[in-house]
Structure formats: structure tokens, C-alpha cells
Amino acid sequence: MRPFLVHAVDSQFSSDDAFLFFSYTCSRSQSIHLVLLRQLYYTRRPSSIFLSPCQFRFSPVAIVPRCDPHHGFHCDGESRFRLADTRTIRHPSDLRIITQPHKIMTLYPGVAFVTGAGSGIGQQTAVSFAAEGCTRISIADTDVARLQDTKAAILAVAPDAHALVFAVDVRVESDVKKAIEATVETFKRIDYAVNCAGIYGPEAASTDLETSDFDNVFSVNARGVWLCMREQTRQMKTQEPLPSHDGRPGSRGAIVNVASSLGISPIPGKTPYAASKAAVIQMTKSDALDCSPYDIRINAVCPGITDTSFTVDIPEDGAAVRGMPVPRKATPQEIADVILFAASSKASFLQGAIISADGGHTI
């Protein structure tokens, strides 16, 4: 099957269903309209006439100059290329549509590092990175068995992904350092760091808590995040910026800390937890100021009541849930989506932001 040739566009896409809309007037004037996901990439000629759509059922699609020595691919019969009416189409000789099975554009071409990846939001975040095209992922948690489940889920959605597993207690400085160093040794850099490791702690008023209860919650939730951020930013400062696919300024890295809506608006019986998450919020802002000159972005996401092991004792039909503007628990996927946005180049102007993803709890 002869390749169809179009106006100069040089992009790569990674959708299972990329829709192409062609329009032609004559061999000297042609244009292409390409709709992918929710974005519109197009070139336009003023006198072009719109024909009918064609659809590719493979991934990805690339449109490159025919003379480009790095691309020698042709559309073949397997691409199932279709046009409703080919009689009105003429084919210029300088460009061609091609398929590139091993070159996929993604918002996450770099390396991800996720703590607390054994369950809940951290696990979903790691899997979502893989689902969105990130193929180099380090996952860390104290529970290695659960990490193996996470790795299996990553490979289920992205068989070509490379996932490193680390047993890390974020309270232990050497654990954090070793995981960062091993990640860099294998992948050469870290571009998206998500600090999700945390504990809830006992539910009681301060008068009924032991000092060890307070220390343990702060050691994991606040000190642990600080240790991770310190090692992550030390590495990010040394690496070259990762170019953006759409012309935005490059970044040496993006860090997303998982805080909590209770760090903004506490509830009774959770003083150590709420205070530790408030500390994460302030560390996020402070380190964002310090790291801005190095093109490193640091933001925080504050989930509300989310359907994880932390909230199994909170009934879906209870007052805590039904009293929110959005009267239900969030899914881990909903929180992971916000985290991935904050880590991506789409959030390139987001710095030191505290994003509430809490169903309106903190309104």
C-alpha cells in the first residue's frame, strides 16, 4: 500500500486511537488536522476543503519528512489506513505517514521515583506513571512483598517498563540514600519524585498520647519527606534539564509531596498527623523557593478522605464523608491523576503550590 503524504508535521503520538482528518485542494496545497486525546495539532491552508476522517488503529503515529535519514518507515497494509474517498486526493512527494512502534511520545519520558509505593495512593501513582508511558520507575516501601505486587501491576500495564524495587524505611537516612544512588546508577537520573510514604498514627487527643507516638508519626511523615527531598534535590541539581516535548522550558526535576487536607484543616484526635502534614506543606514551599534557581519544581498534593487502608474505619455513609461537598471517598486513581499532573511538564508554571484534592473538605 502506497503511503499517503501530507504537509510538514514532525511529531510522535501514543494513543491507541489517533484520529487523523485530512483536507486537500490540489497537489500544491494540502493540510492535516490531527486530534489526539484532548489536544489539537494542526497546520492549516486557507483554501483547503474538509474531506472525511480516517482512523489509525495502532500506536503510535508519526508524520515526518520523507528525506529524514533517521526514518525509513512506510505505511503498510497492517496499518489499516482508510479514507472514505481517495479519488480527490493527490500525493506530494516530500512527506510520508509512518509508524514507529518503538518511539512513543509521553509526558513522562524521564525517570520516576515513588515512595510508599506498596499500597494505596503511592501504589496507584507508580502504576499510573507506567500507564502514561514512563518506562523507568523506582518504587520504595517498607513492605517488599507489596512492592512486588506493585511491580507486577506496572508490568501488566507496561510490559516494556523497567521497575526497580527498594526496601526503604524513610526514617533511615542510609535507606533513602541507597535507593536514590541505585536508581541513578541504573537510570542515570531522577525526573519525577513522589514522596508518598506516611503513617496515620493513633487517634487520640494529645493528653492521651505517648511521646513515642508523636515522634514516630513525625519521623515518617515529616523527617522522612525531608530526607527524601534532600537526596532527590541533590541529584536533580547535578543533572541536565529534561527537554519538554512541546517547547516549554526544560526541567531538572519535579517533586510532589503527598500531604493531607488535615494539614490545612485538622480534625479532633489527629494532632501528630495533622501537624506532620502541615510541616510537609511548609517544607514544600520553602524548598520550592530554594530550588527554583535550579529549575526544580516542588509542589504538594493534599488528599482528602481516600479509599485506602487509612480510611477503612470511615464508613462511606458516615457524617465525615456525607458532610463534604463531594460526599464520597476519593479513589486512589483520582489522587494519582493530580500527582501525575503536578509532576508533568503540563504543570511547568506550578511551583510551591499546595493542591487540595479533597472533595471540597477545606473550602
Closest CA to 50 of 36, 30, 73: 30
Residue 280 is placed in which grid cell?
Answer: 510537609
Catalytic one among 24, 108, 192, 273? 273
Q: How many helices (H) and strands (E) does the chain have?
A: 8, 14
Phi, psi of 350 (to 5 degrees): -95, 120
Catalytic one among 24, 277, 285, 329? 277
How far apart CA 284 and CA 289 sit, in angstroms, is: 9
Give how far the C-alpha of residue 268 lies from the chain's centroid of Cα atoms, to the nearest Å.
33
How far apart CA 15 and CA 275 sit, in angstroms, is: 43
Q: Are 324 and 360 in contact (CB under 8 A)?
A: yes
273 is catalytic: yes
How far apart CA 344 and CA 108 sit, in angstroms, is: 7
Range list of H helices, the chain:
120-131, 144-157, 173-187, 211-218, 224-238, 271-291, 319-322, 332-343
200 is catalytic: no
Residues annotated as catalytic (active site), given as ranges: 273, 277
